[in-house]
């Protein structure tokens, strides 16, 4: 059990490293005007998105594995986990939206400003604060 939890936390750190950095690349990409810079950002975004996928899938796999080990009764009575999973589902939606943005940039169709991406970049910070408090403090 504790080994699965350790793997869960390692995967979560991998996922979040990419969730923090990919939208930051969008900020700089939105400020780029030259073709060489644009192409370089496209490669970086595509490769980072692959890492982000690996982090997400591993986090989900080890998280669901933990739930399986704790059992159905534990899952039913853990209200903090229900709240945490709600945030994680929203975060998974954010992750998939990043994929759409990677494709939009690649096609040269981005219309959003770097300011928009700066705000977008803060969403995972809020999710992290909520999830960590729920997972560690377990307030309810
Ligand atoms: C992807 C879906 C996820 C599932 C199904 C899941 C499920 C779980 C479960 C069942 C535990 C064990 C809780 C315990 O031992 O009391 C756990 C622990 C933990 N999870 Fe997740 N989790 C997920 C995502 C995340 C994410 C995205 C984060 C971080 C932002 C995270 C952070 C943690 C932490 C820090 C712990 C250790 C809590 C402790 O033992 O004090 N989890 N998770």
Ordered by start, the domain boundaries in the chain are 2-137
3-state secondary structure (DSSP) of residue 125: helix
Atom 34 (ligand 1) nearest CA: 135
Atom 4 (ligand 1) nearest CA: 63
Ranges of the chain whose pLDDT falls below 70? none
Residues whose CB is less than 8 angstroms from the CB of residue 82 and which lie 6 or more positions away in sequence, other chains included: none
In whole angstroms, give the CA distance from residue 43 to residue 5: 33
Residue 23 CA to ligand 1 centre (angstroms): 23
The pLDDT score that the predictor gives to residue 95 is 98
Mutating to test ligand 1, I would choose from 63, 76, 95 the residue with most ligand atoms within 8 A of its C-beta, which is: 63
Residues whose CB is less than 8 angstroms from the CB of residue 123 and which lie 6 or more positions away in sequence, other chains included: 23, 94
Residue 49 CA to ligand 1 centre (angstroms): 22
Q: Kindly provide the b/e burial profile for residues 60-93, where b requires at least 16 CB atoms within 10 angstroms of the residue's own CB.
A: eebbeebeeeeeeeeeeebeebebbbebbeebee
- The reported pTM is 0.95
The pLDDT score that the predictor gives to residue 40 is 98
DSSP-assigned letters across all residues of 81-112: HHHHHHHHHHHHHHHHHHHHHHHHHHTT----
Mutating to test ligand 1, I would choose from 3, 8, 19, 126 the residue with most ligand atoms within 8 A of its C-beta, which is: 8
The pLDDT score that the predictor gives to residue 140 is 95
Q: Which two tokens stand for residue 106?
A: 């690649």
């Amino acid at each position: 059990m504790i080994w699965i939890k350790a793997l869960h936390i390692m995967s979560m750190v991998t996922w979040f490293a990419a969730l923090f950095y990919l939208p930051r690349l969008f900020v700089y990409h939105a400020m780029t005007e030259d073709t060489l810079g644009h192409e370089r950002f496209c490669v970086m975004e595509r490769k980072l998105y692959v890492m982000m996928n690996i982090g997400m899938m591993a986090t989900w796999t080890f998280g669901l594995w933990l739930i399986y080990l704790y059992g159905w009764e534990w899952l039913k009575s853990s209200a903090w986990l229900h709240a945490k999973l709600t945030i994680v589902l929203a975060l998974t939606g954010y992750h998939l939206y990043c994929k759409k943005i990677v494709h939009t940039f690649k096609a040269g169709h981005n219309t959003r400003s770097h300011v928009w991406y700066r705000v977008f970049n803060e969403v995972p910070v809020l999710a992290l604060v909520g999830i960590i408090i729920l997972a560690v403090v377990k307030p309810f």
